[in-house]
Amino acid sequence: MIISKLIAAGTIMSLALLSTATAQSGKDRIERIVTPGGIEIWHVRDNTLPMLSLEFAFKGGTAQDPVEKAGLAYIAAALLDEGAGNLDSRAFQEQLEERAISLSFTTDRDALRGSLKTLTENRDKAFELLKLALTAPRFDASEVERIKAQTLAMLRRRSTNPSNISGERWFARAFPNHPYGQPQQGTVESVAKITIDDLRAHHANVVARSTLKLASVGAIDGKELAVLVDQAFGALPKQGKLKTIVEVSPQALGEREIVDLDVPQTVITIGGAGLKRNDPDFIPAFVVNHILGGGTFSSRLYREVREKRGLAYSVYSYLAPLAHAGIFMSGVSTRNDRAAETLSIILDEIKVLADKGPSEDELTKAKSYLIGSFPLRFDTSGKVAGQLLEIQMENLGIDYIDRRNALVEAVSIADVRRVANRFLKDAGLLVTLVGRPKPVPVGGKG
């Protein structure tokens, strides 16, 4: 009953947030709060329903893993809600469930992320449990072994999954001897080596106030929220101990690797150098990518690969602006006997777009879609908080929501043609194919 109430409340609050968005600018609705303890949080107050969504992140994700213990950050994140303080895993989860509190932790290459959702009547307890998870995780031996066993089982499944193999091989080839090239969930060998001391040390190194970013949406005023935030995060150490991650660009460009796997379809992963988020050309590149393969039904790749030839159900491309590298990626899954043809078509489309750029009509349609669909990023309170967090993580400014569509609208035909030529032309592409493609695609620069 309580969980149903929470879900229903979230749906109605989301509609309320959308309905007021046009009446009041994002910047005016976003309150920048600095707590008495000096912690900054961006907050959107909405009293429509008694709910609170909090999203937060610390710099330092799987890129912090030692080479021999890849998977450490992933397992540490999975254990943060598996017992804390005087509550073992079962008791901790029961406390969450009894009050319909949702608390979760995830990690990516650059950050540890957390999410808290609660009815406001339970907010004190929710922040109390959050504090315990962050400041006093137990890392009990029984839970560590259980999470490691689950991870090992997952890794064994992934070892026969062509999509997982293709993606991991691409990153390993593109970033040799760099943390981005390590498998984020680790390997069977590396996970087995992870100890409780490793988990405690990783947690101490990463979970610190100096890299903390927070965003929230809900029925609470700024002063009350500031008290809760200080209670949950104020006891954390000011500084962590992150190892330095060097800037890097994808390597092995122009090479192709085939991983033999007895499956009926070949999974193809294609990638090269892209743009980082702070690059002045990122928005034009974002528009170019939408035209190429980010627009699904309207993209060139969808039209040429699926609609005209029926070679694949789905084909895509995207920009991946990591903290220390900009990446352009594309991919598809197709029949083994059509893999060479499909790869050739994708590479040809990339080359044509780089050489000639988009048409005026493609640019107009892309901008219309990207501007019109932007509000869909804010259709739940959790998404609103998540977007505010990402804006902070990417240092885009508190007024970015108001400026974003104007930035897209300002992209000219000259911009997209120049940028398409910049990051797609003659850059070379690293290609991995997992399956049994026949004929075997020839080598050479992609």
* 186 in any annotated domain: yes
> What's the pLDDT at 49?
87
For 326-366, write each residue's pLDDT tens digit.
999 999 999 999 999 999 999 999 999 999 999 999 999 99
The answer to whether residue 5 scores a pLDDT higher than 70 is no
> What's the pLDDT at 22?
30
The overall average pLDDT reported for the chain is: 92
Enclosing domain of residue 149:
2-233
The answer to whether residue 407 scores a pLDDT higher than 50 is yes
Distance between CA atoms of residues 63 and 41, nearest Å: 25
**Letter for the amino acid at 414?**
A
Of 62, 82, 60, 80, the closest CA to residue 71 belongs to 62
> The domain spanning residue 298 has which CATH number?
3.30.830.10
Q: How many domains does the chain have?
A: 2
For 90-111, write each residue's pLDDT tens digit.
999 999 999 999 999 999 999 9
- 398 and 304 Cβ atoms separated by less than 8 Å: no
- Specify whether 17 is located in the same domain as 56: yes
Rg (CA), the chain: 23
For 136-145, write each residue's pLDDT tens digit.
999 999 999 9
> What's the pLDDT at 28?
57
- Specify whether 17 is located in the same domain as 162: yes
> What's the pLDDT at 19?
36
Distance between CA atoms of residues 343 and 59, nearest Å: 36
Domain's final residue, options 199, 233, 267: 233
Domain's final residue, options 233, 248, 269: 233
- Specify whether 287 is located in the same domain as 413: yes
- Specify whether 111 is located in the same domain as 184: yes
- E strands, 39-135, in order: 40-45, 51-59, 102-107, 111-119
- Specify whether 28 is located in the same domain as 136: yes
- Specify whether 281 is located in the same domain as 415: yes
The answer to whether residue 27 scores a pLDDT higher than 90 is no
Q: Which residues contact 149 (CB under 8 A, 6 or more apart)?
A: none
For 280-315, write each residue's pLDDT tens digit.
999 999 999 999 999 778 899 999 999 999 999 999
Q: DSSP class of residue 137?
A: B
* 446 in any annotated domain: no
State what percent of residues in the chain have pLDDT above 90.
Answer: 88
State what percent of residues in the chain have pLDDT above 70.
Answer: 92
- Specify whether 216 is located in the same domain as 151: yes
* 243 in any annotated domain: no
* 185 in any annotated domain: yes
Instruction: List Cβ<8 Å contacts ≥24 apart for 195-202.
Output: 196/139, 196/141, 196/144, 198/69, 198/72, 199/72, 199/75, 199/76, 199/79, 199/139, 199/144, 200/139, 202/64, 202/72, 202/73, 202/76
The answer to whether residue 25 scores a pLDDT higher than 70 is no
- Specify whether 408 is located in the same domain as 288: yes
For 109-128, write each residue's pLDDT tens digit.
999 999 999 999 999 999 99
Domain's final residue, options 170, 199, 233: 233
* 307 in any annotated domain: yes
